[in-house]
Chain A
Amino acid sequence: MAELSDRKHHDAKMRATIHQKMVETGEKERLKELLRAKLIECGWRDQLKAYCKEVVRTKGLEHVTVDDLVAEITPKGRELVPDEVKKELLQRIRAFLADQATI
């Protein structure tokens, strides 16, 4: 199982590298903005907000915390993303990574 841990280690390292590169070049911000705009356009945001209302009603308005919300919303959010948006983003990321690999 050393391999696994190695791989994990390796993964983490890779991810860190990618992340760093993204931040340095400012690609992360650009991607984020792009994604946000696209999600609002397709109505993902409103859907998720409605879902939030349910959650808050269940939990009670006074007792809702950020962590609760995050825990509930994140998986749901991932579900709700439409395919087109995902595809587009992935394409972009790939292109970026390709550039990075060549440098």
Chain B
Amino acid sequence: MEGLLTTVSVDGSESIENPFLPYTEDVFNEVLDEVTLGLCFEIHRSCKIGTFFLDEVDEDSQKDYEIVHQEGLDVFGNPPQKKQLECVCPNCDRNLAASRFAPHLEKCLGMGRNSSRIASRRIANKVESDNEDDESTDLSYNPDRRNTKKKREKLSNNSPRLKSKFSKNSRNGHNNEMSSGIDAAGVIAYKGSNSYRLETMTLEERKQLLMSTCGVISEHTKKMCTKSLRCPQHTDEQRRGVRKQLLTPDSDARTRFEGGTGEGDEVQVDIDSYEDGDGQALRDTLSRLQYEAAPTGSTNPSPADSTSTTHSNDGGGSKKRKKSSKLTQRKKTKSKTPLHIQIPSQQGYDALD
């Protein structure tokens, strides 16, 4: 490694010691060319993708988008306005106002407190569309509807009055089926009953119903009143009329009073005590009516019918609910077989007017 003295001159004059020196400028040019080439590539690319002349504007267009300095307007020249914040529901792809988004999403996804309530209510309401009365949970007397078990249960759940009545009954009766049926659906006492349509209920069920509720069928709504037997809205006359109407004897009814066996189970009710003093006379009438009433048309709601027929059953009887433990066998009808009621004594028929 000899100490070489190289002449450092701008023009790159030759020095023997350093053979490379003359090529300095060439080297520089080479490097410069490469940089230039890089720039060329960039420009060419921007030409081809259309961004080359992007920054050029003309005066007229420029004026359109100038910043607005006016008082009371924003920089775009718009007056202050609350923009409606919109959003799109990811489920149903609808445009919604932002303030309504959360509740809508709840319903849309089917989650949240309200939507399950609404859904179950909708299911219950599916068969009968507008059945909710504001005052009471009435039964509809519409023959076309069927199978509203859920509604039935719901009804009973909501009306403690009915529930307690029937649960009392069930406890006394020690009847499994009874209890299960009643607790769930006070109005529909029997487990076997699938409907709370008066038409499709068995006689037994109807009886049960009529024993506990007023039962008068409203003319305009065709619904049965589910208030107590002493409800102030209806008279006893009406009640009698309804009972006469509803408890028409079927073919099964004939066998009932004699205690003969029906198709299915036979229920014998030994009634030694009265449940309460209320409406007892009425109940007598009811029991009488139920068996011997002439078969009416399937659905003829004549709510204010105060025709009191003096039907007297063979045995005459009261369909009393067993309250005491003195109850003898009471078998639950699983099918829609009629209730056989054995009445030990015949009650006198009292006019209830």
Whether B40 is near chain A, meaning CB under 8 Å from some CB there, is yes
Bound Cα distance from A89 to B32, whole angstroms: 10
Bound Cα distance from A49 to B39, whole angstroms: 8
Chain-A contact segment, one of B12-20, B71-79, B194-202, B223-231: B12-20
**For residues 3 through 38 of chain B, which have their beta carbon under 8 Å from a beta carbon of chain A?**
4, 6, 8, 10, 12, 17-21, 23-38
Whether B111 is near chain A, meaning CB under 8 Å from some CB there, is no
Whether B57 is near chain A, meaning CB under 8 Å from some CB there, is no
Whether A64 is near chain B, meaning CB under 8 Å from some CB there, is yes
A-B contact pairs, 21 of them (CB 8 A): A11-B23, A14-B20, A19-B30, A28-B31, A35-B31, A36-B35, A45-B39, A53-B53, A69-B44, A73-B40, A74-B36, A81-B32, A87-B10, A90-B24, A90-B28, A91-B8, A93-B24, A94-B6, A97-B24, A98-B18, A101-B4
Which of A18, A49, A78, A89 contacts B20 (CB under 8 A)?
A: A18
Residue of B2, B18, B24, B34 ringed by the most chain A CB atoms within 10 A? B24
Q: Is the CB of A74 within 8 A of B39?
A: no
Whether A66 is near chain B, meaning CB under 8 Å from some CB there, is yes
Bound Cα distance from A56 to B42, whole angstroms: 13
Which of A18, A32, A56, A98 contacts B35 (CB under 8 A)?
A: A32
Bound Cα distance from A90 to B11, whole angstroms: 10
Bound Cα distance from A27 to B52, whole angstroms: 33
Chain A interface (Cβ < 8 Å from any Cβ of B): 11, 14-15, 18-19, 22, 28, 31-32, 35-36, 39, 45, 48-49, 52-53, 56, 61, 64-66, 69-70, 73-74, 77-78, 81, 86-87, 89-91, 93-94, 97-98, 100-102
Whether B98 is near chain A, meaning CB under 8 Å from some CB there, is no
The count of residues in chain B whose C-beta lies closer than 8 Å to any C-beta of chain A is 36
Bound Cα distance from A61 to B27, whole angstroms: 33
Q: Is the CB of B6 within 8 A of A90?
A: no
Q: Is the CB of B40 within 8 A of A70?
A: yes
Q: Using Cβ atoms and an 8 Å threshold, which residues of chain B touch A28?
A: 31
Known A-B contacts A69-B44, A98-B6, A101-B17; the reply to A89 vs B23 at CB < 8 A is no
Q: Is the CB of A66 within 8 A of B41?
A: yes
Residue of B2, B6, B25, B31 ringed by the most chain A CB atoms within 10 A? B31
Known A-B contacts A22-B27, A61-B47; the reply to A97 vs B41 at CB < 8 A is no
Known A-B contacts A61-B47, A78-B29, A90-B28; the reply to A101 vs B6 at CB < 8 A is yes
Interface of B is mostly: helix
How distant is A4 from chain B, measured CB to nearest CB, in Å?
16
Bound Cα distance from A77 to B35, whole angstroms: 10
Known A-B contacts A18-B20, A35-B35, A73-B36; the reply to A93 vs B27 at CB < 8 A is yes
Q: Is the CB of A77 within 8 A of B32?
A: yes
Residue of A14, A90, A94 ringed by the most chain B CB atoms within 10 A? A94
Known interface pairs A77-B39, A97-B20, A101-B17; 12 further A-B residue pairs with C-beta atoms within 8 A, sorted by A's residue number: A36-B38, A56-B43, A66-B44, A69-B40, A70-B37, A70-B40, A78-B29, A89-B31, A90-B24, A94-B8, A97-B23, A101-B20
Q: Is the CB of A100 within 8 A of B35?
A: no
Bound Cα distance from A70 to B39, whole angstroms: 9
Q: Using Cβ atoms and an 8 Å threshold, which residues of chain B touch A45?
A: 39
Q: Using Cβ atoms and an 8 Å threshold, which residues of chain A touch B52?
A: 53, 56, 61
Known A-B contacts A45-B39, A69-B44, A101-B6; the reply to A15 vs B23 at CB < 8 A is yes
Q: Using Cβ atoms and an 8 Å threshold, which residues of chain A touch B41?
A: 66
Whether B1 is near chain A, meaning CB under 8 Å from some CB there, is yes
Q: Using Cβ atoms and an 8 Å threshold, which residues of chain A touch B8?
A: 91, 94
Bound Cα distance from A81 to B31, whole angstroms: 12
Bound Cα distance from A22 to B27, whole angstroms: 10
Q: Using Cβ atoms and an 8 Å threshold, which residues of chain B touch A74?
A: 33, 36
Bound Cα distance from A86 to B10, whole angstroms: 10
Bound Cα distance from A53 to B34, whole angstroms: 20
Q: Using Cβ atoms and an 8 Å threshold, which residues of chain A touch B30?
A: 19
